[in-house]
A and B are shown apart, each in its own frame.
Chain A
Amino acid sequence: MDNLPQIVSVLGDGIPETVIATLGGVLLTIVLSFGAGLLLLSPSRTARGVTRVYVEGFRGTSEVVQLFWIYFVLPVLVGFQLLPLFAGIVVLGLNHGAYGAEIVRGAIQSVPRAQYEGAIALSLSPAQRMRRVIFPQAFVEMLPPFNNLFIQLLKSTAILALITVPEVTRQAREVLIPNYGSDTLLIFGVTFVIYLILAALITLGMRLLERAASARLGRRPSRAARLAAKATAGVAS
């Protein structure tokens, strides 16, 4: 227990890298999910085919292989090396974007057919149809699965330790284990707590977003989203 302050401080040094990797990965995931998700529904066969290859390619292989490939193989092929953190963000985004594309596609397809027909009857243009009618309804459906996906992404940032990114897991493994070998329980206990807190923050953020999105549709948010809003009611105002 005597070493607790040092352990917390060394692990704390890794938190910015973990958070940056998560946020960067989430950002890229969102862009790729919507891009690829919409392309999967495109009328063009070629667009659908190319997107399918991306989605199945990244869903079908191991994330560690993807990471090593981009970090070790790509430099040989294109002649420049990505910074470890940047390579990590790219892989996290590409990998989870492939899963996110299926979420987006599924949510848009789950909007009832009558909503399309209603929008056509009102002679909305295809763009208006998507932006005003279909998308807002699909968006609410996407939020819970995206919450899970982002927590998966947070957990995946640990593999960046394998390409020398000094994030929380690497700090624990490479800095603390060799120096405080008798405090392993404490080291990994604190590590677990850090990830739990970060995961809870993601869930809280997503629940608030879900509440706002349902309110926009004039729907009642889910029970979990209401509880999250209640818990932060004092903080937000």
Chain B
Amino acid sequence: MPLWDWNYAFDILPDLVLALVTTIEITLLGSVVALLLGLVFAVLRRLHIPVLDQVLWAFIEVVRSTPLLVQVFFLFFVLPQFGITLSAFVVGVVGLGIHYATYTSEVYRAGIDAIPKGQWEACTALSLPRLRVWTGVILPQAVPRVLPALGNYVISMFKEVPLLLAIGVVEVVNEAREIGSLTFRYTEPYTIAGLLFLLLSYPASMLVRRLERRRAAA
């Protein structure tokens, strides 16, 4: 038997690409959770509300220092005991989203901290309402500067999706594993799975790097 069988490789390609769509779906939905929740975390921490501030700090530290896989198991096995049963797909989206929200919140925080003090003072001088200060002045300046960093985290999330095979989500790697277990040939499925990741994440990271350079130049 040859080490690499092109016919076999082309046969399984459609199934793998189809599974890649699931991977991309989870990445995009997870990113929405991470980008929104991270912003909420960053703004809440900036407000320095007693107790909530410490609770949020502890939560972020725990989520950042423990494996995503354990967090995914937590959502998958612990929540049902409290009457919340989520499908593996939703657990994946929520798990990835919360995990990466703790990272994006740091990114947003850096962006908010970089806003000159004069901007805050001007808001006070104009006696803008609290909400307008954030939505009209601070965030429109803070978010664009941190877009490249956020983009990098979206790419990282994409590469972490295969973890979800541990709870039965059929993404690319799990599909590759199933194909392999039917044919007893693992070389082609796993290699193609790897190449598919590279094919998407490399151009994406090039794009982010270009964005980074453009920001640095501006």
Q: By the criterion CB–CB under 8 Å, are B173 and A192 in contact?
A: no
Q: By the criterion CB–CB under 8 Å, are B180 and A72 in contact?
A: yes
Whether A156 is near chain B, meaning CB under 8 Å from some CB there, is yes
- Indicate which residue in B61, B73, B187 contacts A73 across the interface (CB closer than 8 Å): B187
Tell me which residues across on chain A come within 8 A of B29, comparing CB atoms.
none
Q: In the complex, identify which listed stretch (B42-50, B119-127, B129-137, B192-200) lies at the interface while the others stay far away.
A: B192-200
Tell me which residues across on chain B come within 8 A of A66, comparing CB atoms.
194
Whether A177 is near chain B, meaning CB under 8 Å from some CB there, is yes
Q: By the criterion CB–CB under 8 Å, are A156 and B162 in contact?
A: no
**Which residue of chain A has the shortest Cβ distance to B61 in the bound complex?**
A196
Given A68-B177, A192-B70, A199-B65, A185-B190 contact (CB < 8 Å): no
Tell me which residues across on chain B come within 8 A of A162, comparing CB atoms.
165-166
- Indicate which residue in B176, B186, B198 contacts A57 across the interface (CB closer than 8 Å): B198
Q: How many B residues touch A, CB cutoff 8 Å?
A: 36
CA of A182 to CA of B82, assembled, Å:
11
Specify the main secondary structure of chain B where it touches its partner.
helix
Q: How many interface residues does chain A have, given as a range?
A: 35 or more
Q: By the criterion CB–CB under 8 Å, are A60 and B197 in contact?
A: yes
Q: By the criterion CB–CB under 8 Å, are B67 and A158 in contact?
A: yes
Smallest CB–CB gap between A173 and chain B, Å? Answer: 6
Given A62-B161, A161-B166, A184-B78, A68-B190 contact (CB < 8 Å): yes
Q: By the criterion CB–CB under 8 Å, are B186 and A73 in contact?
A: yes
**Which residue of chain B has the shortest Cβ distance to A181 in the bound complex?**
B77
Whether A61 is near chain B, meaning CB under 8 Å from some CB there, is yes
Whether B205 is near chain A, meaning CB under 8 Å from some CB there, is yes
Smallest CB–CB gap between A167 and chain B, Å? Answer: 10
**Which residue of chain A has the shortest Cβ distance to B23 in the bound complex?**
A62
Q: By the criterion CB–CB under 8 Å, are A191 and B205 in contact?
A: no
Tell me which residues across on chain B come within 8 A of A191, comparing CB atoms.
66, 70
Q: Choose among B159, B176, B191 the residue with the greatest number of A CB atoms under 10 Å from its CB.
A: B159
Whether A172 is near chain B, meaning CB under 8 Å from some CB there, is yes
CA of A77 to CA of B4, assembled, Å:
10
Beta-carbon contacts of B71-101 to A below 8 Å, as 1s and 0s? 0011001100100000000000000000000
Tell me which residues across on chain A come within 8 A of B73, comparing CB atoms.
169, 172-173, 177, 188
Tell me which residues across on chain B come within 8 A of A68, comparing CB atoms.
173, 176-177, 186, 190
CA of A191 to CA of B162, assembled, Å:
21
A-B contact pairs, 7 of them (CB 8 A): A63-B160, A66-B194, A76-B186, A158-B67, A169-B73, A185-B81, A192-B74
Q: A64-B162, A192-B66 are in contact. List 5 more A-B contacts (CB 8 A).
A: A159-B67, A162-B165, A169-B69, A169-B70, A192-B74
